[in-house]
Structure 1
């Protein structure tokens, strides 16, 4: 049994954007250590240059660890790509991987990996100030009523750790050219049926191709940790067999 669960975020989001979820999950599995690590260019590492490959992101995540024991990974969106590549390259380091709303080239068309109604929104977000940008992002990743308080928190954090548009494009390029083989670790998928950013079909396609179990969330958006934190925490605990 592993003693550490590492949480990995997606495109241009950092540990901060998990909100209260890590604390919630930690309360459910106190015998494990819940750790969140930022990719260069995101979160508290926003001043750094993002790797332009998922492999490079894996190496950065690994270099930031304080121990070398096996880990369980919980990863959302592009974080799932990082988790998959980590498990593929270093099978002795990853015990299990739970991918949330993750898509990979080769399993589904581009218009399912990023739904077309978001193209203009993303362009507007990149050209906007922190508050407007975070408001647009919220509209894409959450199915909940607009939470102005949360958006303001995200904007204040972005002011402290400002995004660099160049890093966005480096990360997007890394995600677009990413390819991976099925890792040998225990592998699970979670998909939001009503995801407005990435079609849940993209996640289902991977799960079916690799014969991996998939759990469907019927109400939450792309970021289930925002919309359904308790639901997500319970599913993770069940998967890790530590109930």
Structure 2
């Protein structure tokens, strides 16, 4: 399918220790549903950029993403984008919308959170504290098994886990970059409500981050809250078609209202 570059694109942003490939088939699914280009970016220290140094604050990480977007896709400069972001990626999306409102048409937050409106034990559930420490110490095979346990609520998919493990071997996230990203996420606070439409999506079976965090974000940002009863933290993996559908249904009206279709 060839999509016109005249339509503002969607940019997908993943979270801690994840790279673009962890979206799996969701970018193609969302592009088909929205009939617009969908792109992914890697955080420095992850994916294709695993050898680079990750910034240690959300604004600095966001600036790195903006630079990457400008360098990789110059044909879209001067056009605002739609941001769809999960977990720490949601923090980066909110900061992007705050720092450069002219660059962002809308924001979709998936299982994200903010300090100041939820306590730390909701932003990272206590049952995961030991697993997080083990992730920092473990090799790539065990680390990906632990991440699956924390982020996916549905039964194990061995082929997908094997993919995760292979990517972790190919593009390993260093311990220092993991710590820098954890530090950045732990300190993030919502500073102001974006001027663009914001939608919050939550998996109610999220074992990593309490769904109360999404509820609080929606209240803080005066945003619509959309929930999936059975999905966990990696909602695009567990409920990709549902997620693409609700994004399409809820954003089409906003695109027209804000003249940014």
Determine if the TM-score, normalized by the shorter chain, exceeds 0.5.
yes
Aligned length: 242
1:23 deviates by 1.2
1:12 deviates by 1.1
Alignment map for 1:76-155 (pairs within 5 Å): 76-155=86-165
1:42 and 2:52 are equivalent in the alignment: no
Moved more, 101-110 or 208-217: 208-217
- Paired with 1:2 and 1:92, the residues of 2 have a C-alpha distance of 16
RMSD between aligned residues: 1.4
- Paired with 2:251 and 2:8, the residues of 1 have a C-alpha distance of 11
1:92 deviates by 0.7
**How does the TM-score come out when normalised to structure 2?**
0.90
Contact 2:16 2:88 in 1 (8 A): yes
The C-alpha deviation readout for 1:187-228, integer Å capped at 9, x for no partner, is 110011110000000110111122111001110000101111
- Paired with 2:158 and 2:51, the residues of 1 have a C-alpha distance of 26
1:64 and 2:68 are equivalent in the alignment: yes
The SS at the match of 1:92 is helix
Contact 2:109 2:199 in 1 (8 A): yes
Contact 2:44 2:54 in 1 (8 A): yes
Q: Which residue matches 1:218?
A: 229
Q: Which residue matches 2:212?
A: 201
- Paired with 1:210 and 1:54, the residues of 2 have a C-alpha distance of 18
**How does the TM-score come out when normalised to structure 1?**
0.96
Alignment map for 1:228-243 (pairs within 5 Å): 228-241=239-252
Q: Which residue matches 1:16?
A: 21
Q: Unaligned stretches of 5+ in structure 2?
A: 1-5, 256-261
Higher share of residues assigned helix: 2
Q: Unaligned stretches of 5+ in structure 1?
A: none
Moved more, 118-127 or 88-97: 118-127
